[in-house]
Amino acid sequence: MWLFDNKAVPSIKTTLPGPKAQALLERDQQYMSPSYTRIYPLVCERGSGAVIEDVDGNLFLDFTAGIAVTATGHCHPDVVAAIQDQAGKLIHMSGTDFYYQPQIDLAQRLTEVAPGVSPKRVFFTNSGAEALEAGLKLARWHTGRSRAIAFFGAFHGRTYGAMSLSGSKLVHRRGFSPLVPDIHHIAFPRGCKMCSDVVAGCACVKQIEDTVLKRVAPPDEVAAIFVEPIQGEGGYHVSPPGFLPGLRDLCDKYGILLVVDEVQSGMGRTGRMFAVEHWDVEPDIICLAKGIASGMPLAMPLARQMMSGSTRQSGELPGSAGDPGFVAARICRQCSRPRRTAPPRTATNAAAFSGSRGSAWPWPDDGYGCGAHARNGIARSRPA
C-alpha cells in the first residue's frame, strides 16, 4: 500500500505537464482516438486514497474520484486484496450461461440495502450507460409502452438509448441521429421555489401532467420517467423536496415506472447509500454503476421483482458483465450501516464503507453529507 511516502499533498515539482507527461501526451495524440473528452493534461502513475501521483512525481489531490468512480478512494487495500484474491481463482465467468456465488451474494446484499420494502432483483452490466439501456428495455418490456420522459440537463450515458434519454449537451448528440424515438424532455426543477412544499405538491410535476401527458404523450403510452435525484453532468442540481415524491405519485396514477439514475449519486456519495433515500421514495428501477465497484467495470439496474421476475430479458447482457462482482461484494459487505439512518456528517464515505471497523485509510473529510457528490462539480464544466 503506497501512502504517498508521507509527503505533503499537493506537491508540484515540475512545470505542468512535466517532461515525461509531455512526451506521453504527444504519443497519445498520435495513437489514441480524439473522441476522449480530456480537459487536463494529467498523466497518472499511481493513486492512493484521494491522492494521485503523475509520471513526473507530482502529487495532486484528486477531487474528481475518476468522475465519481473510485468511491472508496484509489486502490483501497480491501479492494486491492479482493482483486488479487479473485484473480488467482477465476477471472471470467459468463453470467449469461452459468451461475456464480459472489454474483448471488452481491445481488442479495444490494437488494437488502435498496430503498423501499418491495423485493428486488439485479441484472449485471458493465457500465452506467448499459444499466440505463437495460432499464429502458425492461420498462418497455414490462409495460408494453414505448414512450419515456426524461429531463433537460440529465446525462444518462453514451450508448443510443442512454444518449437519447440524455438532455445535457449538444456535443453528446450532434452527428449521431437518428436517436431512439418517443423520448420527451422536460425542464428539471432548478431552484423552483414552488416545488419546495411537499404538502402543496410540486408545480414541475403538475406541469408534466398538464403539458407532456396532455399534449404529446398519452399517459397510457408512457413506459417510464427517467430522473437523476441529483443531476450531475448537467450542473449539480438537487431535486427540490416535493419533486421526487410528486413524480412517484404521478407514475402511480398512470401506471408509469419511475426509473432513478444513481450511477453518479449512488453508493454513499450523498451520505446515504442511495441519494433517493433523502426523499423517501421507492423507485421501480434504480440504475447503478461507477462507485459500486470503486473502479472495476460493474453496473446494474436494480428492479422491483414484480417486473424483472415476470419477464425473461434477453439479448442485452454482455458476456463479461458481473465478472468483478467479487470486488463490489467485498465493498458491499462492509456497508453494515442499516438503511434509513441519519446521514453520517463527516468522512462520509469512510464511515459508510468501513462499517464498525473504523479505518486508517486516508479519507478526505467531506464536512457534510453531500460532500463527495458536490466535490465532483469541479469536473463538470465541459464545452457544449
Q: Which residues bind ligand PLP (CB under 6 A)?
A: 67, 127-129, 132, 155-157, 228, 232-233, 261, 263-264, 289-290
Provide the 3-class DSSP secondary structure of residue 228: coil
C-alpha cell at 91: 477471472
Q: Which residue has the cell 512535466?
A: 18
Residue 69 Cβ vs ligand PLP, minimum distance, rounded to whole Å = 8
Q: Which is nearer to ligand PLP, 138 or 289 (CB)?
A: 289
150, 156 Cβ separation under 8 angstroms? yes
Residue 123 Cβ vs ligand PLP, minimum distance, rounded to whole Å = 15
Q: Which is nearer to ligand PLP, 21 or 148 (CB)?
A: 148
C-alpha cell at 298: 460493474
Residue 94 Cβ vs ligand PLP, minimum distance, rounded to whole Å = 21
Q: Which is nearer to ligand PLP, 53 or 133 (CB)?
A: 133
Q: Which is nearer to ligand PLP, 179 or 306 (CB)?
A: 179
Provide the 3-class DSSP secondary structure of residue 196: coil
119, 307 Cβ separation under 8 angstroms? no
CA-angle at 257, arms to 255 and 259, nearest 5°: 165
Q: Which is nearer to ligand PLP, 64 or 313 (CB)?
A: 64
**Cβ-proximal residues to 229 (8 Å cutoff; 6+ apart), any chain:** 238, 239, 244, 260, 262, 265, 275, 276, 278, 279
Q: Which is nearer to ligand PLP, 17 or 128 (CB)?
A: 128
Residue 5 Cβ vs ligand PLP, minimum distance, rounded to whole Å = 32
Q: How many CB atoms lie within 10 A of CB 157?
A: 24
Q: Which is nearer to ligand PLP, 56 or 62 (CB)?
A: 62
Residue 253 Cβ vs ligand PLP, minimum distance, rounded to whole Å = 26
Q: Which is nearer to ligand PLP, 18 or 371 (CB)?
A: 371
Q: What is the DSSP string of 3-71?
A: -GGG--SSB--SSSS-HHHHHHHHHHHHHS-TT----S---EEEEEBTEEEETTS-EEE-SSHHHHT-T
Which residue has the CB atom at the shortest distance from ligand PLP? Answer: 128
Q: Which is nearer to ligand PLP, 18 or 66 (CB)?
A: 66
256, 250 Cβ separation under 8 angstroms? yes
Residue 356 Cβ vs ligand PLP, minimum distance, rounded to whole Å = 31
**Cβ-proximal residues to 300 (8 Å cutoff; 6+ apart), any chain:** 110, 122, 123, 124, 125, 131, 134, 287, 288, 289, 292
Q: Which is nearer to ligand PLP, 201 or 235 (CB)?
A: 235
**Cβ-proximal residues to 297 (8 Å cutoff; 6+ apart), any chain:** 126, 127, 324
DSSP state of 296: B
Closest CA to 258 of 312, 301, 293: 301
Closest CA to 348 of 266, 270, 262, 265: 270
Residue 329 Cβ vs ligand PLP, minimum distance, rounded to whole Å = 19
Residue 304 Cβ vs ligand PLP, minimum distance, rounded to whole Å = 20
Helical ranges in 166-303 per DSSP H: 203-207, 243-254
Residue 301 Cβ vs ligand PLP, minimum distance, rounded to whole Å = 12
Residue 232 Cβ vs ligand PLP, minimum distance, rounded to whole Å = 4
